[in-house]
Amino acid sequence: PIRTHHWDRVLCYARRVKTVLVHEPDSHGPWLEAVQLLNISFPNLRSLKWNTKEPLAALFPYIRMSLPPSLRLVTLHLQSSAASQLSVLSYLSTGLPYLANLKYLAFVNIRRPYRVSSSRAFDQQMAAKGTALPPAYAQLASFSSLKCLNVGKLDGCPPLSATDSPSFQSLARLTVWGSTTQLIKNFLQWCERTPVTLLEECRFYCNVPTTGGVVYDLIVALGSDDMLAILSPLSVSFDNGFIAAMSIAWPKIKTLRFRVSSIDTRRGSVALSALSAFALRYPRLEYLQLEFDATTVPHGRHPPSQAPRVRQTQLASLDVMNSAIEAPAIVAHYLSAIFPGLQCIETDRVDGLTDEEEEELRQAGRSTLHTWMKVGKLVPLLAAARSEEETFWMAQAQTPGEAAP
C-alpha cells in the first residue's frame, strides 16, 4: 500500500499513470483523501479497479465527483452483492462519457470470487448468485448505450413492472443463463417491453431440458435480421419444427452453436440427415457447432448420392464435437454434397482418455478425432471433384453435337 508520505514520489509520474487500483479501503482510512484527488492527480487515467469489503454504496458518493471523465474501464470487486450496491450504477452512468467497459464482480467469499459480469462494452448482469435483484433493472436503465447484457439467475424474479424494464436500443449482445424454464418465462415478460432490433449475438445457458413452446416463444421474441450467433439451451430437442422456427426468427444467421448436456446426449438423438435441414433453411450459415450421430448414414437402398439435392455453399466450418462416426468415406461424400464449401471440421477430444490411449486408438484407426480428420481432408477433395464433373457436363451440354453421317 502507498503510505501518505510516499504520494509525493508517486505524483512525480502522475501524467504517465493509466491504471489505479484501490485495494480493500475502509471508510476511516487515509486513502479517501488520495482517491478524491484522482481527477487532479492523474489527468490521463483510463482504468480504475476497485477492490473493497465495505458496502460500495456507502463509499462511492465520496469519490464520485473525483472520477476523471477520461475513464474508459471501471472494474468493481465487491464483497457483497446486495441490491444496495447497484446504486453505484447511477453514479457511473453520468459524468463518464468515454466509459466503454464496465466489469461488475461480487465475492461469495474471499478465496472464490463470483463473477457477476464482464464484457467489452457496458456489460452489466442483472442479478447476483442466489436471489435475483429486480432493482438492477431500474439502475441499468441509466445506460442508454448498453451494448452487451448478461441476464442470469432470474428464476425467482417476480413479474416486472414497466418502470423496471429499460429500453436497450443499442443492445448487440445478449446472454441468458439459468437453471429452470421459469427463467425463460420471466425473461419473455422482460422482452415484451425491450426492443432488441440491433441484436447481433444471443447465447442461452440452461441446465435443464427447455423444449417445447417455451423455447419457440423465446426464439420468436428475440428474432432479428442481424443475429450472428446463438448458443442453444442445454438438452434442447431437435426436430423439424425447432429448426424451422429458428430459421424464421433468424433468416440471416451466420453462426449456430448447439451444445447438449453430456448426461442427456444419446446416440442417435440427432441424425446426420438433420444437417440437410440446416443446409436447406440457413442459406447464410457459415459456422455450425452440433453433435450428431454420424453412424446413421443411409446405406443400401438410399445412398447419399440418391438423397434430395440440397446444397448450401456458405458453410465453411463444422464443429462436430464428440459425434460418433463409423464410415468416414460415406460421411465425407454426404457432407461434400450438401456443404461443398466446407473447409474445416473441428472435433473435441474423447472424454476420459489419456494421451497414450488416444494415440493407441489413432494408430489403430479407431480414434474419433482421427476419423473426423480423414473426413475433413476428403470433403474438399470430393467437392472439387464433383464441381469439375458438373462443369464438364455443363460444357458438354452447351457444345453442339456432331452431325450424324
pLDDT above 70: residue 273: yes
- Cβ-in-10-Å burial (0-12, 13-18, 19+) of 381 comes to exposed
Task: Provide the pLDDT for residue 52.
Answer: 64
Which residue in the block uniquely carries the three cell numbers 449482445?
173
Stretch 224-251: mean pLDDT? 64
The rounded mean pLDDT for the chain is 66
H or E element, residue 185: helix 181-191
Name the least confident of 66-75, 117-126, 253-262. 117-126
pLDDT above 50: residue 121: no
Task: For residue range 74-109, list pLDDT tens digits in order.
Answer: 766 655 544 445 556 656 666 676 665 556 554 433
pLDDT above 70: residue 286: yes
Cell numbers linked to 302? 438410399
Give the predicted TM-score (pTM) of the model: 0.61
- 147 in helix, strand or coil? coil
Of the pLDDT bands very low, low, confident and very high (cuts 50, 70, 90), residue 345 is very high
Stretch 246-263: mean pLDDT? 72
In one letter, which amino acid is 129? K
- 334 in helix, strand or coil? helix
Task: Provide the pLDDT for residue 89.
Answer: 60
Task: Provide the pLDDT for residue 154.
Answer: 46
Cell numbers linked to 341? 464449401
Between these two residues, 251 and 100, which has the higher pLDDT value? 251
pLDDT above 70: residue 124: no
390 vs 247: CA distance, rounded Å: 30
Cell numbers linked to 335? 457432407
Task: Provide the pLDDT for residue 270.
Answer: 76
21 backbone dihedrals φ, ψ, rounded to 5°:
-110, 120
143 vs 160: CA distance, rounded Å: 18
Between these two residues, 42 and 318, which has the higher pLDDT value? 318
Ranked by mean pLDDT, the top range of 129-133, 207-211, 212-216, 345-349 is 345-349
Query: Of the candidates 253, 212, 207, 214, which has an alpha carbon nearest to the alpha carbon of residue 233?
Result: 207
- 44 in helix, strand or coil? coil
pLDDT above 70: residue 128: no
Between these two residues, 126 and 218, which has the higher pLDDT value? 218
95 vs 330: CA distance, rounded Å: 62
Ranked by mean pLDDT, the top range of 196-205, 231-240, 263-272 is 196-205
pLDDT above 80: residue 290: yes
pLDDT above 70: residue 113: no
Of the pLDDT bands very low, low, confident and very high (cuts 50, 70, 90), residue 149 is low
Portion of the chain with pLDDT greater than 90, in percent: 9
Name the least confident of 69-73, 161-165, 309-313, 366-370. 161-165
Name the least confident of 36-45, 54-63, 276-285, 365-374. 54-63
Portion of the chain with pLDDT greater than 70, in percent: 38
Name the least confident of 145-154, 328-337, 367-376. 145-154
Of the pLDDT bands very low, low, confident and very high (cuts 50, 70, 90), residue 305 is very low
Name the least confident of 120-134, 249-263, 287-301. 120-134
Task: For residue range 176-222, list pLDDT tens digits in order.
Answer: 665 555 656 666 666 666 656 667 777 766 555 544 555 556 666 66
178 vs 35: CA distance, rounded Å: 38
Name the least confident of 96-100, 113-117, 286-290. 113-117
Stretch 140-144: mean pLDDT? 56
Strand order in the sheet with 73-78: 19-23, 47-52, 73-78, 101-107, 113-117
Task: Provide the pLDDT for residue 403.
Answer: 47
